[in-house]
């Protein structure tokens, strides 16, 4: 098979389904946090589109923070090493913090982020992931809000990339393995 053909994402979650689920998640989160102000943490880069869609539908007072982490480089398999590329400078002590992730695969990245932010003594700390790959989890991980559970496929689109590409796709697609 040609490289070009292998690198064409196949449809996994259509745009309409994504938008519907994001709206549901936003309502669920707004209900749970009623009467509280939330610090929503966008985990860069992959969750930037999900984050933008989600927060605009959350009927809550929020502030936004951005945390840059990198664990995959240009590969399809997690290195297991989490590198912070952009830290949050605002104090989180006493705040209600919601981490917004694109994908929980082995769970190591979210575990690392949760531990790092817990040390900053927030009043509460919860997590929201658009996609969870239950078969790939390597750590006991309770994700508070999950958009979709998927298999072990390597996905792209809706903010998520492969070697910097495909973030602009409005849907979630998957790439065949073997690159």
- Measured in residues, the chain has a length of 179
- Residue from 109, 127, 130, 147 in contact with ligand 5GP (CB under 6 A): 109
Preceding omega of 87 cis (within 30 degrees of 0): no
* DSSP 8-state code for residue 151: -
Q: Does 127 bind ligand 5GP (CB under 6 A)?
A: no
Strand extents, DSSP E, 24-171: 38-44, 62-70, 83-86, 96-104, 124-132, 145-149, 154-156
Residue 102 among the catalytic residues: no
What span, in angstroms and rounded, lies between the C-alpha atoms of 26 and 56? Answer: 8
- State the Cα torsion 114-106-55-147 to the nearest 10°: -130
- Residue from 41, 95, 102, 125 in contact with ligand 5GP (CB under 6 A): 102
Binding segment (CB under 6 A) for ligand 5GP, from list 10-18, 26-34, 87-95, 155-163: 155-163
Q: Does 122 bind ligand 5GP (CB under 6 A)?
A: no
From the candidates 59, 87, 105, 161, give the one annotated as an active-site residue. 105
Binding segment (CB under 6 A) for ligand 5GP, from list 6-14, 23-31, 117-125, 152-160: 152-160
- Would you name the residues annotated as active-site residues? 105
- Interacting residue ranges for ligand 5GP, rule: CB under 6 A: 46, 71-72, 78, 101-110, 154-156, 160-162
């Amino acid at each position: 098979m040609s490289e070009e053909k292998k690198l064409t994402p196949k449809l996994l979650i259509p745009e309409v389904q994504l938008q519907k689920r994001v709206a549901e998640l936003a309502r669920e989160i707004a209900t749970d946090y009623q009467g509280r102000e939330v610090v929503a943490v966008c985990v860069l880069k992959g969750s930037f589109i999900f984050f933008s869609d989600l927060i605009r539908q959350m009927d809550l007072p929020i502030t936004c923070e951005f945390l840059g982490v990198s664990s995959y480089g240009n590969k399809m398999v997690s290195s297991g090493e989490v590198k912070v590329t952009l830290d949050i400078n605002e104090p989180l002590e006493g705040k209600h913090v919601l981490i917004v992730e694109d994908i929980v695969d082995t769970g190591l990245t979210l575990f690392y982020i949760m531990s790092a932010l817990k040390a900053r003594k927030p009043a509460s700390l919860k997590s929201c992931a658009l996609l969870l790959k239950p078969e790939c989890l390597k750590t006991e991980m309770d994700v508070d809000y999950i958009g979709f559970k998927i298999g072990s496929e390597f996905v792209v689109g809706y903010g998520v990339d492969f070697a910097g590409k495909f973030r602009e796709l409005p849907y979630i697609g998957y790439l065949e393995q073997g690159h």
